[in-house]
Structure formats: structure tokens, C-alpha cells
Amino acid sequence: MVLLHVKRGDESQFLLQAPGSTELEELTVRVTRVYNARLKVQRVCSEMEELAEHGIFLPPNMQGLTDDQIEELKLRDEWGEKCVPSGGSVFKKDDIGRRNGQAPNEKMKEVLKKTIEEARAIISKKQVEAGVCVTMEMVKDALDQLRGAVMIVYPMGLPPYDPIRMEFENKEDLSGTQAGLNVIEESEAQLWWAAKELRRTKKLSDYVGKNEKTKIIAKIQQVSTFFHTTALLVNCFPTTKKLE
């Protein structure tokens, strides 16, 4: 099995194994799915930390408003009345105004935080140093653990607009966000090794040879990013016309 050390730019991401006979179309999609799924786990963990501290998401029309404004507009958080954490809640105001402030008690908060820690360990970049390959099954397991923890603390579920629930249902809207820029579309993903594009029409062995013990650093990037960079370089170094 060829060992791929996947990076984005110069930043280490994860290790992945594949036979040299693997079609690069298949490998590129596989690497991209693991890469994007790890990002999903990271996003869910970040939101679950906020859930543990400040409770569920407020309805979009109530976010950022003061208590006086909510009262004046006669707005009501119906989901907040339904989605009470197991064992009751502890009020902890969200200064940003995104969450309702009805945080889980210490016992339930610990359930969330422990699971977050375990999920992050599964997809951690430290797995590279430990020589552990990350598979799609491992990432799915991390997501399942996170989903299970949320169900323990919120057995009635989360509001449909809560980003955690939207992530679990693959309905997240990342448009206009930094998180969205990090995601790579499968159809636009490229793998590079030793300054060469690993073209999808070829096999991995066409580049690395028949040695199944080969280890390579494969860089993943989005096609559009590459062409944009190329265009910038062309503009920076325009060709000069030959003088008559």
C-alpha cells in the first residue's frame, strides 16, 4: 500500500493508504471526502462547545436582539421551550446573542465536552505523527459519537435551524463563511506530488511506480484556486513585446 501524507498548502492534514493500482479519479474523490468530513467534525465540535456553554440556537429572527427588543417585538422562542437539556438547564447568557443561554448542567456539559475531545482526537493532525491513517469510517464514527452525545443531552432533539442539527442532516449553509472557503468540491479537487498534478485519468502507480511501500506527500487543492493563482502570476509578469 502506498502511504499518502495529505497536506493543504504546507499544512499537514492526515495519512491515507491506497494500492498503487488505484485509479486517481477514485483516490482524489476519496481523499477529498475524508478532508471535507474532517472539516465537518471540526465545525460540529466548535458549535457543540457553544451548545455546552450557552444552550441551543435562538430563532434567526431573535439573534442579536436585546431582551427589551424581543419583548417589544413580541417574539417567542418556541423551540427553546421544547428543547430543554436532560436534568434541567443553567442560565449562562450568550453575549454574542446567538444562543438562548439555557445551558446544560455540569454533568451533561461534561458528556458533551468529553465526546468533543474524543472526536477531535480521531481527526487530529497528531495522527500523522503517530503514523495512524485516517479513514472515512473513522470520521463517520466521530460524527456518530457527537450525534449520540447530543441525543443524550437533548433527547427531544435540536431546533431545525441549529447549525449542529443542520450539519448532522447535511443541510449546513456555509456560503459566505470562512468555513465554506475551506471546503473543496469533489469535482474540483486536485492532488499534486513532486510538483506534478496527479491526473485523474491515470493510476497512482503511473507516478510512484510499482513499489507498494512508497510514501509520498500529496497536496490537495481546488482547481479554481490553482487557475486563479496562475492568472495572478501571468498578470504580475506580463510578456514584453519585442522591439522593432
Q: pLDDT by residue (tens digit) across 159-179?
A: 999 999 999 999 999 998 999
The grid coordinates of residue 136 equal: 472515512
244 or 9: which leads in pLDDT: 9
Q: Is the pLDDT of residue 146 over 70?
A: yes
Average pLDDT over residues 192-219: 95
Q: pLDDT by residue (tens digit) across 36-79?
A: 999 999 999 999 999 999 999 999 999 998 888 988 999 988 88
pLDDT number for residue 101: 94
Q: What percent of the chain has pLDDT over 70?
A: 91
User: Quick one: which H or E segment has residue 68?
Assistant: helix 67-72
Q: pLDDT by residue (tens digit) across 81-133?
A: 899 999 999 999 999 999 999 999 999 999 999 999 999 999 999 999 999 99
pLDDT number for residue 167: 97
Q: Is the pLDDT of residue 240 over 60?
A: no
Residue 92 half-sphere exposure toward CB, CA atoms < 13 A: 15
Average pLDDT over residues 31-38: 98
pLDDT number for residue 3: 97
- At residue 218 the predicted structure's pLDDT band, cuts being 50, 70 and 90, is very high
CA 66 to chain centre: 31
Q: Is the pLDDT of residue 234 over 80?
A: no
Residue among 67, 63, 6, 72 nearest 37 (CA): 6
pLDDT number for residue 70: 85
Average pLDDT over residues 232-236: 49
Q: pLDDT by residue (tens digit) across 125-140?
A: 999 999 999 999 999 9
The CA distance from 231 to 233, in Å, is 5
Q: At what angle do helices 106-123 and 24-54 cross, to 10 degrees?
A: 160
pTM of the prediction? 0.87
Measured in residues, the chain has a length of 244
Measured from the Cβ of residue 79, the count of other Cβ atoms closer than 10 Å reads 19
Q: Is the pLDDT of residue 241 over 50?
A: no
- At residue 242 the predicted structure's pLDDT band, cuts being 50, 70 and 90, is very low
pLDDT number for residue 233: 52
